[in-house]
Amino acid sequence: MASRSSVALVTGAGSGIGRATACMLAANGTKVGVLGRTRLELEEVAAEISAQGGEALVLEADVSEEIPMRKAVDALVSAFGGLDIIVANAGINGVWAPIDDLQPFEWDETIAVNLRGTFLTLHTTVPHLKQNGGGAIVVVSSINGTRTFTTPGATAYTATKAAQVAMVQQLALELARHQIRVNAVCPGEIDTSISENTSLRREEETAIPVDWPVGQVPITGGKPGRSQDVAEVIRFLVSDEARHITGSPVWVDGGQGLLR
């Protein structure tokens, strides 16, 4: 990694896992571009980072839009002089509904944010990592689509999360010659505001019931994990301590994905 301070881009940094990751990386001395759609939230995160003595740049962009993403990445590179770490985290649950009820525009929206958004995040940033002589990428996937297929009606979401892990494995090989590592984290239920971006219809037609003593996260007695639990793994994966890890999905789910 370069001798100047490391620079990271975190997408969806205004809340949840992205926010926790941005704050954790900044606390470790990394300068962070906090990218998202909601400027007010991003400014709060940037203020929290500077209050802790770190440096952040607010980048307002929709990850599914090419031009705003290019502009945001250019702004980050000119402000901080390079780019070393990419956390492709922005995502939505979208609409969860039976396949014959899910509307094509609803399918398109989930694919646009979660999959095209991941593509554009990497497409616009990888040239800077190559120029740098290396870097680390973490994509935030999910247990859904990787070891869980029982979430009611989540076909579009599951398809994007499986595709993200496929991208990670494909790119780990493509980018190894550039000293760029590419990994995924696959969280289970985490206590964030993602449910505000979820619309669930006709669950009775798609639900796959699973019985367990309490809740669905075995290691916590049913409680969801915290954003920091995921951020901690991302912090490790982008650090030099993980220098021999690439193309690997890491499940951060308290065993939930093994259960359902």
Among 23, 45, 49, 92, binds ligand NAD (CB under 6 A): 92
Q: How far is CA 219 from the centre of its chain?
A: 23
DSSP three-state, residue 184: strand
Q: Which is nearer to ligand NAD, 87 or 175 (CB)?
A: 87
What CA–CA distance (Å, rounded) separates 42 from 14? 5
Among the listed residues 111, 97, 61, 80, the one whose alpha carbon sits nearest the alpha carbon of residue 6: 80
Q: Which of residues 8-37 bind ligand NAD (CB under 6 A)?
A: 11-12, 14-18, 36-37
By CB under 6 A, residue 198 contacts ligand NAD: no
Structure tokens at 144: 């859904």
Q: Is 72 a catalytic residue?
A: no
Q: At its nearest, how many Å lie between ligand NAD and the CB of residue 140?
A: 4
Q: Which is nearer to ligand NAD, 55 or 62 (CB)?
A: 62
By CB under 6 A, residue 117 contacts ligand NAD: yes
Q: Which is nearer to ligand NAD, 12 or 135 (CB)?
A: 12
Q: Which of residues 122-151 bind ligand NAD (CB under 6 A)?
A: 140, 142
For 132, residues 6+ apart whose C-beta sits below 8 A from its C-beta are 2, 82, 83, 84
230 in Cβ contact with 24 (< 8 Å): no
Give me the helix-helix angle, 39-51 and 16-27, nearest 10°: 30
Structure tokens at 258: 């093994």
Q: State the catalytic residue, choosing from 80, 96, 157, 251.
A: 157
**By CB under 6 A, which span of 73-81, 189-197, 208-216, 232-240 interacts with ligand NAD?**
189-197
- Estimate the share of the chain in helix, then strand, then coil, as percent rounded to the nearest 5: 45, 20, 35
Q: At its nearest, how many Å lie between ligand NAD and the CB of residue 252?
A: 9
By CB under 6 A, residue 84 contacts ligand NAD: no
105 in Cβ contact with 120 (< 8 Å): no
By CB under 6 A, residue 82 contacts ligand NAD: no
Q: Which is nearer to ligand NAD, 190 or 233 (CB)?
A: 190
163 in Cβ contact with 91 (< 8 Å): no
By CB under 6 A, residue 152 contacts ligand NAD: no
Among 64, 110, 124, 183, binds ligand NAD (CB under 6 A): 64
What CA–CA distance (Å, rounded) separates 62 from 40? 14
Q: Which stretches of the chain bind ligand NAD, using CB under 6 A?
A: 11-12, 14-18, 36-38, 62-64, 89-92, 113, 117, 140, 142, 187, 189-190, 192-194, 197
The residues annotated with a catalytic role in the active site are 157
